[in-house]
Amino acid sequence: MKQIIQISQIPKLVKYLSNLNKTITLVGGCFDVVHLGHLTFLKKAALTADVLIILLESDENIKKIKGDSRPINSQINRAKFLTHLKSVDFIILLPEMKTDQDYLNLITQIKPNTIAVTKNDPKLKLKSFEAKSINANLLTVTNVIPQQSTSLVIKKCYNTRSIKL
What are 93-149's pLDDT values in tens digits? 999 999 999 999 999 999 999 999 999 888 999 999 999 999 999 999 988 765 556
Rounded CA separation 148/94 (Å):
24
Residue 151 is predicted with a pLDDT of 57
What are 71-108's pLDDT values in tens digits? 989 999 999 999 999 999 999 999 999 999 999 999 99
Question: What is the band of 155 on the pLDDT scale with cuts at 50, 70, 90?
Answer: low
Contact 55, 143 (CB under 8 A): no
Contact 7, 106 (CB under 8 A): yes
CA angle centred on 121, ends 117 and 122, rounded to 5°: 145
Domain 4-159 of CATH type 2.60.120.1310: no
- DSSP characters over 99-148: SHHHHHHHHHHH--SEEEEETT-TTHHHHHHHHHHTT-EEEEEEPPPTT-
Residue 165 is predicted with a pLDDT of 44
Angle separating helix axes 124-133 and 100-110, nearest 10 degrees: 40
What are 23-68's pLDDT values in tens digits? 999 999 999 888 888 999 999 999 999 999 999 999 999 999 888 9
- DSSP characters over 52-65: EEEEEPPHHHHHHH
